[in-house]
Structure 1
Amino acid sequence: MGQCYGKNISVAEEDSPTRDRRQTPPASGNGAVNPNVPSVKNTPAHSAANSTWPSPYPHGSSPLPSPLPAGVSPSPARSTPRRFFRRPFPPPSPAKHIKASIAKRLGPPKPKEGPIPEDGAEGERPLDKSFGYGKNFAAKYELGKEVGRGHFGHTCSAKARKGELKGQLVAVKIISKAKMTTAISIEDVRREVKILKALSGHKNLVKFYDACEDADNVYIVMELCEGGELLDRILSRGGRYTEEDAKAIVMQILSVVAFCHLQGVVHRDLKPENFLFTTRDEDAPMKLIDFGLSDFIRPDERLNDIVGSAYYVAPEVLHRSYSMEADIWSIGVITYILLCGSRPFWARTESGIFRAVLRADPNFDDAPWPAVSPEAKDFVKRFLNKDYRKRMTAAQALTHPWLRDDSRPVPLDIIIYKLVKSYLRATPFKRAALKALSKALTEDELLYLRIQFKLLEPNREGRISLENFRMMDQLSYRKMDFEEFCAAAVSPYQLEALERWEQIASTAFEHFELEGNRVISIEELAREMNLGPTAHSILRDWIRDSDGKLSFLGYTKFLHGVTIRSSNTRHQ
């Protein structure tokens, strides 16, 4: 019921594991949700699947291997459990790449024997596993039963013995120090606690209460959510939500993710298993959990470590250069599943899934998509755009026609800082081009910009100061009215994803011809775009022979600029 099947690209033979057909049941051949499976217990950690057939996606936070070059093997990353499939399927063949990937965070297995160090030889420096957390966990909390187990630890319920939480049930994530065999694994734990502390206050974010440690473990004490995972509710509905029910879920996801992004945190593992309901009530609110793979990130920064869950990982993550837009892709996958009951990208192996993510397009033709509203389909398509620059942000998505509700507040969008900063650094010619573009927008398309402008608290004269941007103090002398703000905060890439882009571009070029277009030489245009002499032959086609001004093609190309990989990509 309500199942649809995504277009799947063929998977090379080397990606398929060798199997004995007498012992291994065949795969279902599609990514449909299976409603006839038992629920798992809710917990900030993840329950281990009980199956005689091992899952190819074990639980536990681990980096995913790159799908390129060909021949790469699957990773130990957590992903949607195998119960998502109708029938079990064989796991990918093990390979050295898996061990190398695990070793990076967990460390290689200790050898049974080793050489005896010579006298005076300097041994390896021991890892510092002291976190500075409270040492009185046993005095403050009474541990209950285990409610979940992941790759890095397990989660138990507990009752607070004293303090403000006295008598209250909580969830305790217990991480073994013995498993922290690398500096990266230790830093992962420190960062998770730091992020949980920094992100307090949002109604859809799991509450952080305390962090403790002893000689053996680190204890992260959080809110106990007893309503189960979003994944379980999807399964209980036969794999499909109505549009109205899907909206209620997606709005909560967008609200908390926009909050995280505004605080400079990218989650990197958004999936139905990481959203828990507070109670079993049908209308209970959801909480985002598990920040074990999350990281702090600056607006202009790019990350390069491949982490996440296979079905929800964004193309740019696999290309090792990504930012907050990777979370948006994951929300798009979740929304697709909510609306049709199947995954947009599916294959029998992780490397096959990665190829589908990089090359295949989601299927919007088969049932139930013909019955889904055009607004909902447009919403999903604008999230699952393989060009991350063309995706909506979480804050923008809350003003999309599918979700629009004038009574619901929209948060400040972190992308505004990035766009305004770029505008202030642009040349007068580029600013004129952007101003013309902003004049081509309809009132409906300006709604998001009006909300963002108002959030920046304009003064009595209707202008905002860059004092509103804490990170732009050195530019605080500059004032902007709404017209200039629109020019600064408009994104040509996002507009290009709209169906009416050609009309927008044509109208914008008319404004540019009247107010901003001027005679420009190839050399000056190259300097405007920070290009060398080798690009002159290309730029020649962008300038009209008749008057030496930018043509329509030149105007649209000039708006986009030239994509150059960021030099501040973080290496780990």
Structure 2
Amino acid sequence: MASISAGEDALVEDLLAGRADVSGADRHGNTALHVAAAKANEAVTASLLRRGADATVKNADGHSAVLCARLGALAPALRLSSAGGWAAKEILTVKVFGKLDSRTLQAGEEVWRCPISKDCWTGSVSPTTPRNHQVAAILAQAAGDAYSLADAVEGAWLAGQAPPMKNQDEVHPAIMHAILLLVQVLQKELLAALEARDRERLTAGLEMLRYAKVAQLPEEEPAIRTLVAIELEAAIGARNELELKQAVAVAIPQNIWLSTDSRTRAEDRVGHISVVGRYHRLPSRLEDDYFVEKKALGTGYNGSVLLARGKNRAGKFAIKAFKLHGVSKEKKAELASEAEIFLSMDHPHIVRLFDVYEEEDRLSLVMECMEGGELFDRVREKKIYSEKDACKTAWMMLLAVNYLHSAGIVHRDLKLENFLYERKDGDFLKLIDFGFSKVWAKNTKMELSCGTLSYAAPEVLAKSYTSQCDLWSLGVIVFILLVGYMPFAGNDERKQIQMIRSGHYIVKKDRWAKVSTQAADFVQKLLVVDPDARMTAPAALEHPWIKNLDHANSDCIDEAMVTSLCNFAKSQNFRRSCMKLMAWSLTASERSQVREAFLELDKGSTGTITAADFKKVLEDNFHIPELQAETVFNAIGDVEHDEIHYSEFLAAMMASRISLHDDLLKDAFRRFDTENTGFIRKEDLVLVLESDREATQVMRDLDVNHDGKISYDEFICYLKSGGADDDALEAAERAISKEIISLNRPEDEPKLRKRDKLKGMFAILSAQQYDQTSARLYKHAVDALHAVLEEKRVEQMGRQLADAAARGDLEMLHSLLQAMCFV
């Protein structure tokens, strides 16, 4: 292998006999598999073209090539045999048993010998294994160029001989070394391509990097961003709307698991910062932040749940990991749906999702560890609940279900095992496992028969159902709590199905005699065969049995809590963002200090606090003026949807009610450090904050030593320093954002994306409806639009927009908006 010599005509015969790939050229005209055919003589090149090689695939010298030609030139003794494997021809000098020939090969016979396995065979048989990928990897290392290495690795990858199909310790060392060398070569290639902004080299480098699954190069993201920018600039230059829309999606890495649409839907429900602060992609890995133990806590529909402990914070956690390799398209859709729905859950009675890690072949969900056990186990222990306990349990379950349904989600697998207690000595209940859950559009029917038979509604068995199926399942659970047995039980599944479809459940009169009329009525109104006649979640919450019992402390909102809300509203915007990230790291004990207050403020039991309810409580109980109450609400909550989410409320409480400690500070820093570099860069801030202007200001405020990044010490110093911002501009921005939303919101479309806000903002500015603050608001509009453009990586448009803004050229601004498909 050390000596490189020219190819031979005999090699061509072997190539064609083995049907080697002779298509697919690099930008220099060489095929992706071979770049060394130029070392062969002209007769060999002509022979290749005559014998079927694609004549259009030529390099600058008119040569066509395939990987075997290059590797054969590097190691003349090796050939691609007619049997399809890399081997050397030789004459046997001793007798050898040929496993493939199933006979003893005699001395003097011409055979092929594999340099790795040392197996021998004659040309009349075919190996059962594919080409010898280990040999190809060794030869590609000798070649040393990206194209040979990538194609040798690709061959091993497609044959299942490389990560992620195999663990690294199971991969042959030759293949592993080829992968590592490929990573080194591609790193240099991407750096050179980035410097030259070479579109073809960037595309080729990223394509080859797909097969090197053992590393995530820091150059990969810049390469993707630059490639997107190049594609967008070309589309903008041509003013081609179709090309522009297609260019936004170009160069997205193929291993992205949760789609942009899925993440956007999750962000619509709980806010951008709540999603991006918890969703981690490479180079961040689960093992960077958690020790995962082998102990299984339980099994859900989509996999086992393992115990874990945090590396940077105390406490136990539950890990649900999904292996992605070899998963069917349907199963992938199920897993993606579970991850999306779980990411968008934010309620006291739904288990908390702390982090999501997307890696090459694994998606991991990090949840709070519910140490109190299943409701099923508690029922088995108690046999029958007291009516008061059963009522409180039903109320907690209803709050979780009503929150889901209000968000357009149906669980589809409510059962005793899917409600867990927070602590062994407590009675705070939470819903888990969204493996069967589905985002559901009203007035449509679902067809998939899923869930557990004993809890399944009649319409689920008929495969035509709505979210009302969850209320039937809840009725089954409450039935069990009150009387201690299953309503539709038995060993005969056919009979059980008949009972469910007819709604005829088992009645043990001695048990029901001890149940109140109201409780019995509650169960009866849930176990109604007709889903339209069955109680909905809001109706069930208003049922006298639920309504007449005290479930929560109605006096938990005090003056200190209101003070905390007001202090939070006065904080700088970045400080509030930090608090919102920390809210997702609070322990159960910390959340328990204020969650009853959240439930009390949630007057509609929908899982969010509306603006009207919030302002009414502050005005009626604490005499806070309406304007001040609105300012506080706008600082805490979602202005677009007029509501405060649970985690936003928790963040506000951290201004004074929940103390900051090292675990929370470290976790907040980790969530901003999206690339796991140990520092917070401006790019990290833009990703989390969605604003270049704000990211620039934060860097100016926190980067004390002016090294272009924020260290942990600088971050801590800022958060512990306290202080308030001159928030006049922020208040003005929130006010106009709200005004824009109300002016632009169609009656049938309650949600607006950022581009719709910008359209409304420009319309208001054009009409000069805000004369006194027009300069500030105009600047805010330009900054906000510039941030949107940066999100789409359009550097050229950003510069043009900045110039137009500086000149005050509204006509040019509208023209640029038209080009970007925003207007």
Give the structure-1-normalised TM-score.
0.48
Higher relative contact order structure (alpha carbons within 8 Å, sequence separation ≥ 6): 1
Structure (1 or 2) with the greater helix fraction: 2
Larger radius of gyration: 2
Give the structure-2-normalised TM-score.
0.34
